Amino acid sequence: MDLPASAALVARLVVLDAVGSTNSELVRLVAADPGAWPAPAVLVTDRQTAGRGRLGRVWSARAGDSLAISLLLRPDVPRERLGWLSLAAGAAMTEALAGLGVPARAKWPNDVLIGGRKVCGVLAEVLPEPSGAVGSLGAGVVIGAGLNHAAARKDLPVPTATSLAAEGGPTDPDLLIAAYLTRLLPLVRAFEAAGGDPDASGLRARVRSTSDTIGRRVRVSRPDGDVLGEAVDIDPDGRVVVDRGPILGTVACSTGDVEHLRYE
Ligand code: ATP
């Protein structure tokens, strides 16, 4: 893979022919030699053999079907604000695809959908200190995005998945990665400049405007029971706010699986 446009946007970009997980590999490489990985840096492959999702879930794709893009950032923001970066990545990928003519929408907290099917999943990880931080710079964060660019519909791993090829969208890796970075990096810079304030930086507005979850009836599965209602907002802590009706009122959910309900 030749990625000149994408490489021009970051301090370092490395393409691997194949790797288990780009997130795990980038975390390992940065821990081994932090000075060799200035931020922003990207590790990418189209042959990820042991891709990971949230909660130990698996991201699977045939060789050449999906791009695994891991981005190293060292944002100078308070640690408790770092969770906004994975929402930023989902918003940036959604905007990038929309800019290329693909009707993509973001599903809180970490998916990008086309027509209700997942085309991209995001998985962010904070690097352990002290290897994650270099000098006075902020904590290291690796944001992974798995993007089904080239898969034929028959080769998609699960019925809830789709791909850019299956949707008639663009499939060129350099075009896609550069479009994503072109949205995400300025968003991260604005977030840093605002000291990690999601409102002052405009980040929360971008997350809201790309959200397919706001305005939908949802079920959020949580360990302490399901929350059922209408998703009405993403709050200043990045949580989805669910309106359960006049008696139960609203509740903000920070984690959990969200199901967009079509019928009630
Ligand atoms: P869900 O997508 O079920 O709401 P999630 O958002 O937590 O869950 P992730 O952990 O980000 O999902 O990703 C893992 C899940 O994505 C798997 O459980 C599987 O259902 C789905 N999946 C695996 N590989 C792909 C792929 N190539 N394209 C789309 N979806 C995939």
Domain count, the chain: 2
- Together in a domain, 42 and 129: yes
CATH number at residue 256: 2.30.30
Reported as a pLDDT band with limits 50, 70 and 90, residue 133 is very low
pLDDT recorded at residue 138: 56
Note the pLDDT tens digit of each residue in 41-65. 999 999 999 998 887 889 999 999 9
**pLDDT, average across residues 182-190:** 98
- Among candidate residues 174, 195, 210, the one where a domain is terminated: 210
CA of residue 35 to ligand 1 center, whole Å: 33
- Together in a domain, 17 and 49: yes
Question: In 3D, which of 187, 188, 190, 100 has the Cα closest to residue 147?
Answer: 100
Closest protein CA for atom 21 of ligand 1: 59
| 152 burial type by CB count under 10 A (0-12 exposed, 13-18 middle, 19+ buried) | exposed
Contact 149, 155 (CB under 8 A): no
Q: Which of ligand 1's atoms lies nearest the C-alpha of 51?
A: 24
- Together in a domain, 172 and 244: no
- Together in a domain, 153 and 225: no
Flag the least confident range among 81-85, 221-225, 242-246: 221-225
Closest protein CA for atom 22 of ligand 1: 59
Sheet holding 225-234, edge to edge: 250-253, 240-243, 225-234, 217-222, 257-260
- Together in a domain, 234 and 189: no
Q: Ligand 1 within 6 A of 148 CB?
A: yes
- Together in a domain, 34 and 79: yes
Residue 196 predicted with pLDDT over 60: yes
Question: In 3D, which of 121, 109, 117, 118 has the Cα closest to residue 252?
Answer: 109
**pLDDT, average across residues 203-224:** 95
Reported as a pLDDT band with limits 50, 70 and 90, residue 247 is very high
Mutate to test the pocket of ligand 1, among 47, 54, 59 (most ligand atoms within 8 A of CB): 59
pLDDT recorded at residue 60: 92
- Together in a domain, 167 and 256: no
Question: In 3D, which of 59, 65, 98, 84 has the Cα closest to residue 180?
Answer: 98
Residue 20 predicted with pLDDT over 70: yes
CA of residue 165 to ligand 1 center, whole Å: 18
Positive or negative: CA dihedral 147, 101, 116, 236: positive
Residue 263 predicted with pLDDT over 60: no
Percentage of residues of the chain with pLDDT beyond 90:
86
**pLDDT, average across residues 179-192:** 98
pLDDT recorded at residue 264: 42
pLDDT recorded at residue 255: 80
> SS3 of 197, please?
coil
Residue 262 predicted with pLDDT over 80: no
Question: In 3D, which of 222, 99, 73 has the Cα closest to residue 170?
Answer: 99
- Together in a domain, 240 and 189: no
- Together in a domain, 122 and 231: no
Q: How far is CA 174 from CA 45, 146, 152, 181, in A?
A: 12, 15, 19, 10
Residue 233 predicted with pLDDT over 50: yes
The domain of 148 spans 4-210
- Together in a domain, 181 and 225: no
- Together in a domain, 146 and 34: yes
Q: Ligand 1 within 6 A of 53 CB?
A: yes
Radius of gyration over alpha carbons of the chain, in Å? 18
pLDDT recorded at residue 139: 72
Contacts of 140 (CB under 8 A, 6+ apart): 30, 34, 39, 72, 73, 74, 126, 127, 131, 132, 133, 134
pLDDT recorded at residue 256: 76
CATH number at residue 43: 3.30.930.10
pLDDT recorded at residue 132: 47
User: What stretches of 15-165 show up as alpha helix (H) in DSSP?
Assistant: 22-32, 84-99
Reported as a pLDDT band with limits 50, 70 and 90, residue 24 is very high
Element containing residue 177 per DSSP (H, E): helix 173-193
**pLDDT, average across residues 131-160:** 82
- Together in a domain, 156 and 227: no
Q: Ligand 1 within 6 A of 66 CB?
A: yes
Element containing residue 129 per DSSP (H, E): none
